[in-house]
């Protein structure tokens, strides 16, 4: 092996040469195989697709391939590190797609942060892919980019930082509510963070029947009495805190709250955590430092989850996105609907079954049942929602 600047460090050693490669699915043992895989044989397939573009679904890799697209502006907990530095993460995402969903993925790091340029670039790349997974694009631009791509493309477009997190959080919360004897219609939830993940978490909770939700950004609760809200935040305020006139600071809404979901990266003082209801549920999802460290959370909460792999109840997106795309691809879906996301969350929650306990409200990413359960639930929901083409 050629020496490299960080030789001996196991992380860097693993990354030498990248984490992925492209392999042929056909053998080219001689001229006969070559003439079938390439010219002249390939021309017949090209002509068939030219006559009927839907033939790409049968004779190319397109229907099983997703583009993992980023501009490098919100990479993990590292922030705006640019497209080149984002590549190891995008490669990793592609490996996860293959390992956990049998989906081929191509990392694409764009050297632009302009909304229009990103949209136009992805639209022009779209014929090469069966779906688009947007990754690590900062808010609020990510909302517009996803919404406009969904309007222009007839293939699934999914921003995993938003919806992957939301699906897994809903699955874990569904079981936490069952364990603590709470009802979705009456539970009080606080979501700290109104970026990509926070907005999506709040939206999927609403879809699941949870009504009393207070979402906070750095200035406090999103409420229509505020004049500084973006369009996305204003719409969310109308659908959440306005209904119960929740307003003010984190301390104001945490008193008596049943559930805290942190997607902000801030730190919650102990006295605020202590003000929550008995048998509280605390999800501190910031990585690597949760908003409420599990040691503190366990003093006041019955169920605690984080985004880390070294604590129980990891809210890990890999539980969701591979199976969601696999299910969408299986039925040639034109989109990923809210119903498909909720179905994925329900399937994940049900896998826990009778094993439900305080330190097991969500299955492990290595549970072999996960990909198939999510895949089937998403495919069925796509048919119900009318977006399946087969």
Report, as residue numbers or ranges, the catalytic residues.
Answer: 38, 93
Query: What are phi and psi for residue 69, nearest 5 degrees?
Result: -110, 130
**Dihedral of the CA atoms 72, 73, 75, 76 (nearest 10)?**
-170
Decide if 266 contacts 258 (C-beta within 8 A). no
CA distances from 131 to 56, 158, 189 (A): 14, 8, 33
Specify which residues 157 forms β-bridges with: 132
**Dihedral of the CA atoms 127, 133, 139, 143 (nearest 10)?**
60
> Residue 209: which region, alpha, beta or left (left: phi > 0; alpha: psi -120 to 50)?
left
157 closest CA partner among 126, 188, 201, 185:
126
Decide if 319 contacts 367 (C-beta within 8 A). no
* End-to-end C-alpha distance for the chain, whole angstroms: 48
Q: Kindly report whether the peptide bond that precedes residue 288 is cis, defined as omega within 30 degrees of 0.
A: yes
Rounded CA separation 370/76 (Å): 24
Question: How many Cβ atoms are within 10 Å of 58's Cβ, its own excluded?
Answer: 12
């Amino acid at each position: 092996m050629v020496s490299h600047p960080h030789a001996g460090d196991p992380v860097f050693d693993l990354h030498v040469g990248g984490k992925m490669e492209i392999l042929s699915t056909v053998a080219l043992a001689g001229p006969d195989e070559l003439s079938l895989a390439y010219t002249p044989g390939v021309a017949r397939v090209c002509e068939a697709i030219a006559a009927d573009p839907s033939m790409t679904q049968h004779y190319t890799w397109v229907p099983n391939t997703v583009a993992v697209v980023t501009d490098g502006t919100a990479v993990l907990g590292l922030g705006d590190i640019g497209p080149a530095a984002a590549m190891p993460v995008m490669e990793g995402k592609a490996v996860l797609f293959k390992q956990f969903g049998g989906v081929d993925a191509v990392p694409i790091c764009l050297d632009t942060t302009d909304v229009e340029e990103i949209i136009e670039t992805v639209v022009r790349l779209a014929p090469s892919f069966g779906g688009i997974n947007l990754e690590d694009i900062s808010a609020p631009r990510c909302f517009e980019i996803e919404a406009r791509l969904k309007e222009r493309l007839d293939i699934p477009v999914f921003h995993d930082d938003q919806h992957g997190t939301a699906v897994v959080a809903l699955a874990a919360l569904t079981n936490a509510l069952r364990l603590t004897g709470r009802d979705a219609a009456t539970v009080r939830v606080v979501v700290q963070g109104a970026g990509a993940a926070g907005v999506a978490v709040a939206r999927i909770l609403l879809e699941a029947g949870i009504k009393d939700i207070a979402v906070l950004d750095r200035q406090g609760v999103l409420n229509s009495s505020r004049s500084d809200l973006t369009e996305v935040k204003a719409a969310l305020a109308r659908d959440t805190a306005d209904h119960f006139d929740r307003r003010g600071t984190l301390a104001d809404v945490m008193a008596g709250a049943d559930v805290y979901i942190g997607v902000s990266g801030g730190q919650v003082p102990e006295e605020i955590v202590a003000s929550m209801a008995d048998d509280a549920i605390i999800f501190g999802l910031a990585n690597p430092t949760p908003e409420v460290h599990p040691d503190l959370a366990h003093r006041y909460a019955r169920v605690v989850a984080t985004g880390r792999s070294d604590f129980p109840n990891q809210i890990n997106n890999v539980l969701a996105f591979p199976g969601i795309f696999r299910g969408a691809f299986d039925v040639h879906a034109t989109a990923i609907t809210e119903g498909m996301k909720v179905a994925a969350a329900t399937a994940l929650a049900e896998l826990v079954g009778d094993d439900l306990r305080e330190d097991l409200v969500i299955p492990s990413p290595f549970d072999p049942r996960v990909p198939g359960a999510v895949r089937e639930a998403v495919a069925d929901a796509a048919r119900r929602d009318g977006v399946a083409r087969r």
